[in-house]
Structure 1
Amino acid sequence: MTQHDTPVLRVAGRPVGRYVTRPELPDRLAPRPYLHPVTTLAGTAVTELSPADHAHHLGVGVAVPDVEGHNFWGGRTFVRDHGPTELDNHGSQRHTAFQLRDPDGFVAELRWVAAGAELLRERRTVAATELTDTAWALDFTFSLSNVTSGPLSIGSPATNGRSGAAYGGFFWRARNEESAPDVFTADREGEAEVHGTRADWLALAGWGSPRSSEAESGGEAESGGGWTLVFAGATEDTRRDPWFVRAAEYPGVGSSLAHTERLPVLPGETLVRRVVTVVADGRLERGEAAALVRKAVGR
């Protein structure tokens, strides 16, 4: 893989993220561009790549388990009345070009292809901005356009019959650690209280120590200081999407494009979502998280 394929995001001259455009992955993992590793300004890694518990979790990116029956998430597909099922239905996101590349961000074009046909065309805009000496923001916007001659619909395991599993959209697989991270919003606390709710922002706060099994195996989640990720929907449409949250089973946060109903995308129509994530050293309190979100999003 050439250096051109893996631009590095920098904040105040420090590398904070690597973007892999053309990963060499098996079809079952729904190959797609991703950001990994993403780090705090002090260098603590806050993403995972293909962890043992979910090999198809690829750092930070966009993953959708059901686009008109095609799996752009990876792994098994949830089939109504059958459960998780191995199917030969995986699609791939193919990087085609950078429209813009700077040390602090880029604009990329992608094609979503399945069964030999292009279904969606994506424009992805990513920017890294310094907030303080200990925090920066990852601004991630994706626009998906239906380039087929007919309607498409986006679904999730939840819309296919699996309650509580409305994942699909922006997704951040956080680092594995010995203890589960804390989860909180402005007025809720804990995975059970936050998962599936709408909130202006959601925080995941970890401890900075890897799980012992990964430390012993030389995994990428090296030890470091505590960390906090604060996710905020930066547009009205994004704020309408409930949050998908996991902490106890594995640490991850994403948006839910199809929470209770399938999301239609008509021919020529484009859906846009923008999530801004504060990446901070240390474990933030509510007031600190809210203040950084206001600075990052401008509201």
Structure 2
Amino acid sequence: MSFTIDHRLDQSVTVTAAGTELFTYTYSPDTVQLESPKPYLHPLRTLAGDVVSLFRPHDHVWHKGIAWALPHVGEHNFWGGPTYVQKPEDAPGQGSYIQLENNGRANSAPLTELAAGKDSAHIEHRLDWTTQHGELMIQEQRRISARIAGAGAAWALTFDTAMTNVSGASISFGSPTTKGRENAGYGGLFWRGPRSFTGGVIHAPGASGGEELRGTREEWMGFSGQHDETERWSTIVMVDAQDNPLHPPRWFTRNENFACLCPAPFFSEEYDLPQDQTLRLRYAVVIADGMNSREDVARLASWGREALS
């Protein structure tokens, strides 16, 4: 099963395997500043071609498929939209979201690697993270790879980021929870699922269920949802690399209002990155048709660990 690449120069890369466009990676989007412009992966598809991502939903227009998005980087917002703020006079947990002039952006430099072969495809590039006022804060080296998993039963995406602080001062990474909002520690590699996945099943190593699993600390989590029209099920599993800082992470996940998964490294504790130091994080995302039993989901997680090894 060979991989091919379609490169729209200075815009996006589409990776195909076995006749299915598995994903498009838009590395130079035309996103408005309010939504904190950044690269994203959408659409994502199973090997059978079912779409397992959602782009710019009306409830959170800054959600875009899978994206590396951070809501609290110092005083800056690289997530999109308003920022959670708790004022000194607020009671605990009684802050509010306020639209500030702090929506930064992640700009891509030219791609440094773009390769496809029989077994895999790879994309690598540098990104400059700048504030809304144009100040450079972070230089990131990012590598995205895709490969077939489980002898053709699924496919695995790996995401590798190395973020270097070039701001001239220490930077703290946090979340709305570190700013006072309970159990809202989102930020990191964030997946937003299709509308029809609302009400789907969230999986963790020890349980399957719903939003009671939000905030738990696990090596991996998964989500199974059902598609409109075809009535087929698909499953996505995200795995945190064992060498990641703060491993295993707490997870931000939802299935009631919408479907999402996010291994959130800064869920409930801030991470300080000194000047000139680098933070590296790695993840695997395994995408399958069906495979929504607990045994199947655990198998997908094992394939994700293999992809990271």
Distance across 1 between alignment mates of 2:292 and 2:197:
19
Please name the residue that 2:195 is paired with. Answer: 176
Distance across 1 between alignment mates of 2:139 and 2:102:
19
1:51-130 counterparts in 2 under 5 A? 51-80=57-86, 81=90, 82-103=95-116, 104-114=121-131, 115-130=133-148
Question: Larger relative CO (CA 8 A, sep 6+): 1 or 2?
Answer: 1
1:199-218 counterparts in 2 under 5 A? 199-209=218-228
Distance across 2 between alignment mates of 1:180 and 1:58:
20
269, 272, 295: which one aligns with 1:264: 272
Distance across 2 between alignment mates of 1:266 and 1:156:
18
Segments of structure 1 that go 5 or more residues without pairing to the other structure are 210-221
What do residues 196-219 of structure 1 show as CA deviations (whole Å, max 9, x unaligned)? 11212211000112xxxxxxxxxx
Distance across 1 between alignment mates of 2:54 and 2:84:
23
Q: Which segment drifts farther, 104-113 or 174-183?
A: 174-183
What do residues 30-74 of structure 1 show as CA deviations (whole Å, max 9, x unaligned)? 010111001001111111110111101011110000111111000
What do residues 123-163 of structure 1 show as CA deviations (whole Å, max 9, x unaligned)? 11111111143311111111111012210111111111111
Distance across 2 between alignment mates of 1:176 and 1:72:
24
Question: Alpha-carbon deviation of 1:223?
Answer: 5.1
Please name the residue that 2:215 is paired with. Answer: 196
Distance across 1 between alignment mates of 2:238 and 2:54:
17
Aligned length: 286
Question: Alpha-carbon deviation of 1:241?
Answer: 1.8
Distance across 2 between alignment mates of 1:61 and 1:227:
20
1:20 paired with 2:23, answer no
159, 169, 173: which one aligns with 1:150: 169
Please name the residue that 2:56 is paired with. Answer: 50
Please name the residue that 1:254 is paired with. Answer: 262
Please name the residue that 2:8 is paired with. Answer: 3
Distance across 2 between alignment mates of 1:200 and 1:49:
27
Distance across 1 between alignment mates of 2:198 and 2:14:
30
Over aligned residue pairs, what C-alpha RMSD do you find?
1.7
Distance across 2 between alignment mates of 1:65 and 1:179:
24
SS of 2:111 mapped into structure 1: strand
TM-score by structure 2 length?
A: 0.88
**Are the equivalent residues in 1 in contact too, given 2:63–2:192 (CA < 8 A)?**
yes
Q: 1:13 to 1:106 in 2, by over 3 A?
A: farther
Please name the residue that 1:226 is paired with. Answer: 233
1:30-45 counterparts in 2 under 5 A? 30-45=36-51
**Are the equivalent residues in 1 in contact too, given 2:197–2:258 (CA < 8 A)?**
no
SS of 1:7 mapped into structure 2: strand
Question: Alpha-carbon deviation of 1:12?
Answer: 3.9
**Are the equivalent residues in 1 in contact too, given 2:211–2:256 (CA < 8 A)?**
no
Q: 1:269 to 1:13 in 2, by over 3 A?
A: farther
SS of 2:298 mapped into structure 1: helix
SS of 2:71 mapped into structure 1: strand
Q: 1:167 to 1:178 in 2, by over 3 A?
A: closer
